[in-house]
Amino acid sequence: MQRAAAAVIVIDDTDVSLHDTHPLPESPNRTLMISEAITDHFPDIRRITEIDELDEQDECLLAVHAQAYVRHVLKQCESGDEEIISDNRDVRVCGQESKTAIFKAAAAGVEAVRLIMSGEATAVFCNVRPPGHHAKHGRGAGYCIFNNMAIAVTSLFAHYPKEEHRVAIVDWDVHCGDGTYDWLNDPHNEISSSVIFINTQQHFKWTYPHGRGKPNFEGGGNRRNLYSYNYACGFGDHEDVQQVWTEHIIPLLQQYQPTMIFISCGFDAHEYDLKTSELNFTNETYAWMTTQLKLICPRIVSILEGGYNDLALYEASTAHIRALLE
């Protein structure tokens, strides 16, 4: 019997491009390039171009971030100045435009979960910024302000409590998703026992966040189900990726049998993205990884994280979305 084509939806609200913190490389052009790719290659895909901002009192937002931090973000946005809201000088806002982008990015994953759970979609790609996987409970980091991934996963458990959920988060950004890990490893996190976290990245010693993401470092944490597999610097071409996934990641996921997969979809491991990566992922790599995850569980929420080369963003997002559709 021929398998029906997957119902794939793209959340592509261009208001997220209003967040402009030049000269940081996390720029509006990132999502605009992906929007252009969607227009060029997927004219018939269902595309949601306007979503509501997440409410500042949303239960899922406040389950992930301290209320005092949320208020701090709002205060900085209301000031109208490009003020720094973290200790690292790598997280900034530019007034109310940033507020719109930040709260819409946080809302996108929640809406993606709703679309899948309602049966409207099998998979959803969220073309959003600022990214989220470095954001902590009470501070931003690495261009990230709110942890969009953590908020989305939280919404699945909060809004659909009667269903049994086994979630897999796969973070294939070039950098360790340390904010997501810290959220899961918080002893007060009541859902982490139903979540497995797989993180692939460039070598931990030379890549932000420095020292985080040692091979299997999650295994010694408070939550024994957390798992990380990390690349060594200098590896990461397509054949290497296939070997690592075939030997480690795919068997782990097959054994776990997730009911939904969430992808922290960074494109900064791409061979064109020389600013941040010494890995050499290709467009074929992103398509192949996407296909492998679909074969394990077709229900996928994919949320944009890093990626700072225009051509890489355009081509890799095209490969990723095409694989979701096939």
Q: How confident is the model at residue 226 (pLDDT cuts 50, 70, 90)?
A: low
Residue 18 domain-assigned?
yes
Domain count, the chain: 1
pLDDT tens by residue, 28-50: 999 999 999 999 999 999 999 99
Residue 162 domain-assigned?
yes
Q: Which residues are catalytic?
A: 134
249 versus 274: the higher-pLDDT residue is 249
pLDDT tens by residue, 92-117: 999 999 999 999 999 999 999 999 99
Residue 258 domain-assigned?
yes
208 versus 255: the higher-pLDDT residue is 255
Q: For the packed helices 178-185 and 148-159, what is the interaxial angle rounded to 10 degrees? A: 40
Residue 103 domain-assigned?
yes
**48: CATH:** 3.40.800.20
The whole-chain average pLDDT of the chain stands at 88
| pLDDT at site 236 | 67
Average pLDDT over residues 159-167: 95
Domain range spanning residue 113?
8-325
Residue 113 domain-assigned?
yes
Residue 13 domain-assigned?
yes
- Alpha-carbon distance of 77 to 93, in angstroms, equals 6
Residue 2 domain-assigned?
no
Q: How confident is the model at residue 229 (pLDDT cuts 50, 70, 90)?
A: low
pTM of the model: 0.93
